[in-house]
Structure 1
Amino acid sequence: MPSEDDTFPDSEQCFRQAFDHPDAPAKLLKLIKEYPEYMVIIDLVVTYQTIVQENPDRAEELTRTLVAVRNSPDAPIISGDTTLAEIFSCRLAFLHGVALIIDDEKKILGTSNEFLSGSLLSGLSFKYNLCGCSDQSGAILDGLDADPISPISEVLVAGACIQLLVAGSIIIRRSSSYFKSAKKIATRLKAQRHSGTVKDKNAQKLLELAISHAESGFKKRNDIDNAWKILFPLELPPSVHR
């Protein structure tokens, strides 16, 4: 069992600097090849999540960087026989499970809401085949079936829309046991619209786009990479918008 001490000093700071480098994949690969330990890779994934939570506008860029590291022919094998892809998937499944738990602290629609940034990360994990676990699909189901009078329903629906807009074409294939058809997803989204669950105007735009995406059959060309910008169009630091 890997020790939690199998990392290196200031690993988070080093990974942050590497993610900011013009050639981020190369810098990250250099670090993990110097320290090919299980907990180092865990630190890398956790740092990735933390930066996205701090600045969701960078989510696509950061995810592509992580994917480039995973796909590199120079990617090291960890602890004898474990690939980066395996560690990434395992750790992201855990992190998604935590971020996609909804509670009173996550009921306000704002850029600092970790359920919403977690939904964005989850959608990107589906999109780039980093991870696809039951918690991710379950969060979408929670949004589709949200109780309109619940104080958390608007956030649940917005989170589901983010995932479906980012990676609907992937989700509908990979999670067929959860979602029987795009048509049924569209019906449930329209029911949320009819119930007035979503009151924020930008979240309503997100819902309309998700309905259109579902009605079109979740074609890959209709997946989008600006769902967060639609929900939060202003360039503001993480905060509560209302």
Structure 2
Amino acid sequence: MTQIDDADDRAEGDAALFEQLRVAGFSGPSWRLATREIAAYCQTVVGAWVETREIFRRCRRRGYVLRHQSLILGRPEIRDLVTDTVVDGLNMFRRRAMAGKGWRPGGGTSLASWVTDDCVEVFPNVWRRFLTATEPCRRLEAQALLTELEVLRPTAERSAEDRHLAVVAGADLLQHVKPAVRQAIELLALGYSQREACEIVGCALTPRALEGQLRRLRLRLRTAEEA
């Protein structure tokens, strides 16, 4: 069987599936059953895009510039992001289809690829919702700060690129990171709240003061990267 034959078979299958969804009103058990395979495909593709940060590049090409793209994402965060994105992408596909818009048989794009494209469209809102979950976001930001501070740590094992960064910003930056602040950042990275971290560290460090320290530290790191 040639690639053309495969494409024709896929197009026919997509057309039949779309008609099945239309008859079911794009809802109910028939909708969930019929879209199971598409959802599995989207989970795989979108999962790879999130892990490699390709999703941010695709969003940027559409004009979406998202904050905190360098956050270190654990497996649970990636799983939740991908699941929410695929669900929202399928819902966007359904809304458009019910309005007589969106995918059409014979349009040259497979049904699954069309839905993954919708997933890119909805990802900015999914990412913003993720960032509004304050404590998880704060923990991830703390992890990112620790990673960047580790690069600046004066060790003989650093790479030439790391040594250059330290020359640019390290001496000035590290002297502003007090031990209590670094300890608080480490606690935030472990999942403690700002109030809990301040209570453990002591030293009269308040959540408000810690937030100010973090804000100034992030600003210095961005300045160092742009230098």
Shared fold per TM-score greater than 0.5: no
More helix by share: 2
Q: TM-score, normalised by structure 1?
A: 0.27
Higher Rg = 2
Q: TM-score, normalised by structure 2?
A: 0.28
